[in-house]
Amino acid sequence: MDTHVTHPLLKPGSVERRLYQEVIVAQVEEKGNTLVVAPTALGKTVIAAMLCARMLEKNPHQKILFLAPTKPLAVQHQTRLREFLTLHPETINVLTGALSPEKRAQVWNESSIITATPQTIENDLLTGKSTLQDVQLLIFDEAHRSVKEYSYVYLAKVFWNLAKQDQHKRILALTASPGSSEEEIQDICKNLFIQHIVVKTLQDEDVKPYVNDINVEWKKVTLPNEFYEIKNYLQKFLHEQLVFFKKIGYARNMHSNFIRRTDLLQLQSQLREDMIKYGTTKPQLYQAVSRAAAVMKVSHAVTLLESQGIHALHEYFEKLQHNSKQVGSPKAAGLIANHEDVKKAFALEEKLHTLNVEHPKLALLKQILQKQFDENPESRVLVFNHYRDSVGFVTEELNKVPTIQAARFIGQATKSVKDKGLSQKKQIALLEEFREGKHNVLVASSVAEEGLDIPSVDLVIFYEPVPSEIRLIQRRGRTGRKAEGRVIILMAEKTMDEGMYWAAKRKEKNMHETLQRLSTITSKGSKHAGIHASNETRATSTTSNTIEKGQSTLFQHTEESENIFIFADTREQASSVLRELSFFPDVRVHTKTLEVGDFVIGPDVVIERKTTEDFLSSVIDGRLLGQLMNMSQAYARPLLLLEGKPEDLFTLRNMHENAIIGMLSTIALTYRIPIFFTKNAHETAKYIRLMAKREQLGNDKEIRLRVGRKGFTLNEQQQFLVESLPGIGPTVAKTLLEHFGSIQKIVNASKDELKEVENIGPKKAQTILDVITKPYEKDTRKKNQQDTHNKENEFKELDTMLSEEMSENTSDENELPEKELTENEWNENEVEEEDLPLD
């Protein structure tokens, strides 16, 4: 039997024959959209390459789009596909946002296979630069990201609308870990319109001949007695706060020895809701909010002590003490810093830091690495650390050992002057140095778990366990690809470390059981085959729903066209509203950098869209008043769309309800701006479409763009000036300019000359002449100046009043931690954990 797969589009000897891979490819063709769940090193990319070959052989004139969450991974897929396929290399290309729109269009047209990040493709779809009409196979790598607002979800929806007219189109989703619960897995299947699930494990008989064993070891350390002393002091503080909560009817199931972050977040949410409900009738709730924030911070300090050691705790304590001394600092910071037991913890921690006492994990890590390099000097080791702050410290400590050349590997975000991120270019260069042997150890944050072409390593070390089954699988998959692999997990006895590890193991077991059950169901054709039916959308294509940027910025529409034109600010491309608008067949969206507002839907109508959270932030930082004033000055009929639950205005942040109600009243009464509430992006899009339709269709109107402090083109400025004449709209303004050729000639025209212009009658001509020729009365000027002065003072007084009210009622606002990300809420460029926010 031939040991390699033979196919006209596969290079001879490039693909090792593995029966399970060939079976999966056949199943995708036969059963439809397929989710393949398989550990790293089982050849998911090979499966994709084989499917590409078979589909291109049948339909060579249609394209294949291979999506990956990061640019380095997209480049890696391009390289691998060029190695496998006989296609000309120039027909397998990467599309990135770095290319100009014209170049991207050229690359798209010339390619048979395109690899790209989803954001690049989504932006091109929303701005009308490309279409998925000619795509026959859409591949999603790292498919577990297909949740909530991630671009995969939108692209799958667009593609499946097209696939309804072509039964040969397919979706292939690839992942090593889709989630532990049936709900999570079902969500991914629904979002990607999956009809069939294939699950492969290292224990499968048809897989075993091709995989290497991964030996997992647990190495436990015992914390020094001084660590337990510090922990006891901090737990006394926590116990005291929980006693307070229980007295007022909260946190009945929480214990100071075991506080889960999710429980604390639920407690904070409940307290904020009750503050709105009961207000001043329960003043202890305000104190409870501060105490809850303090518990969150001290609980995090305990975790740092147990898993990271004195250095991490010392830095965190310094930040807490610094914050407590700042003017206007959150009450939680003072509550912590002034507590006697916490002061004792501070003092003992400072003593241990002076003596350079560190976590026993660090010494054990050095021993493990020394032994590894003594036995195998050419080894490569990857050390994962959950906390970015600790990555640098561990790297410095390891480099004190002569046989270790460690490098710090983190994400792209720059946190501070001392903590600068690594660009993708630097990340790739560092990985190449690691591959070549300049470094034999990478100390990495969770950014190294996926999305980067990290070489297979001989040993993976977890500096602490992770509670996520997805991250456990991703980290473990970094070893054992070419030879037997090793994983060592460091754990501190009798701490949260042990609980986190077993939680991840339990979730992984649940995931495999759920997947096996779901794959059995789909093989019988009774469940997931109908998932896509519940995802009906409102249109079959977004191909014609956008306008090229090169077109004019003024569009005239008539009843015959029945098209609705909407200008959207380019910043809205990151929101879901443009995605939702793209599914309406009669909507044409044009993206442009708008000086004022987020959407322009009519000659005098501008819309500012804010989520409830963004609304509160813009109130606090003072942006909102300026935005509203600019809208009122530039457009006759501005309006505000608030997206989200109205009650969230009073629960998301610790703002007093009077400040929020005062601001809403100001917007409606002083600025005379209507406020609309919408539930979500879909409802926002419906509102915008219906309002735009009312403004445009049947009225022979044009969309008029107004500007803030910066102008548009000279033609647009000239038209804007002529539109200021009485009774002159965009259409007549253009007609006047085209007839006379300049503003000067319009001003110098006689009444009879004006009447010669279409839509200018005797009355309108006389009115224009009156405005141009009649003298300006001094008394009127003084009155107008006084009115303007009074209005400006009114705005300033309002701004001052609201600022004072907010400063009185939002002193605890910054005590609340940022919203915790769920397991599947991943950033495009990095997946990285950090310390809790301090302010």
Query: Which pLDDT does position 516 carry in this prediction?
Result: 75
Query: Which pLDDT does position 698 carry in this prediction?
Result: 61
Query: Which pLDDT does position 509 carry in this prediction?
Result: 80
pLDDT > 70? residue 552:
no
Work out the average pLDDT over 170-185. 88
pLDDT tens for 661-684 read 889 998 998 888 999 999 999 999
Q: pLDDT confidence of 153, banded at 50, 70, 90? A: very high
Of 603 and 23, the one with more pLDDT: 23
Query: Which pLDDT does position 386 carry in this prediction?
Result: 87
Cα–Cα dist 583/541, whole Å:
7
Cα–Cα dist 665/675, whole Å:
10
> 56-70, 532-546, 581-595 — which is least confidently predicted?
532-546
Work out the average pLDDT over 289-312. 92
Work out the average pLDDT over 784-810. 44
* All domains in the chain, ordered by first residue: 19-210 (3.40.50.300), 214-221+359-494 (3.40.50.300), 564-696 (3.40.50.10130), 723-773 (1.10.150.20)
Angle at 310 between CA 225 and CA 487, to 5 degrees: 90
- For the entire predicted model, the pTM comes to 0.70
Query: Which pLDDT does position 628 carry in this prediction?
Result: 87
Percentage, residues of the chain above pLDDT 70 = 84
> 444-458, 470-484, 518-532, 692-706 — which is least confidently predicted?
518-532
Cα–Cα dist 300/313, whole Å:
9
Work out the average pLDDT over 277-284. 73
Cα–Cα dist 542/557, whole Å:
20
Residues in Cβ contact with 796 at an 8 Å cutoff, skipping those fewer than 6 apart: none
Cα–Cα dist 65/155, whole Å:
11
Cα–Cα dist 209/530, whole Å:
36
Angle at 491 between CA 485 and CA 494, to 5 degrees: 150
pLDDT tens for 740-755 read 999 989 989 999 999 9
pLDDT > 50? residue 332:
yes
Cα–Cα dist 466/469, whole Å:
8
Q: Which of 27-41, 55-69, 436-450, 773-787 is predicted most confidently?
A: 55-69
Closest to 588 (Cα-Cα) out of 573, 609, 567, 618: 567
Q: pLDDT confidence of 284, banded at 50, 70, 90? A: confident
Cα–Cα dist 630/662, whole Å:
20
Q: Is 547 within 8 Å of 128 (Cβ atoms)?
A: yes
Cα–Cα dist 269/267, whole Å:
5
pLDDT tens for 481-521 read 777 889 999 999 988 888 887 787 788 788 878 777 776 65
Mean pLDDT of all residues in the chain? 82
pLDDT tens for 184-234 read 889 999 999 999 999 888 888 998 888 888 888 999 999 999 999 999 999
Q: pLDDT confidence of 778, banded at 50, 70, 90? A: low
Work out the average pLDDT over 56-63. 95
Query: Which pLDDT does position 93 carry in this prediction?
Result: 96
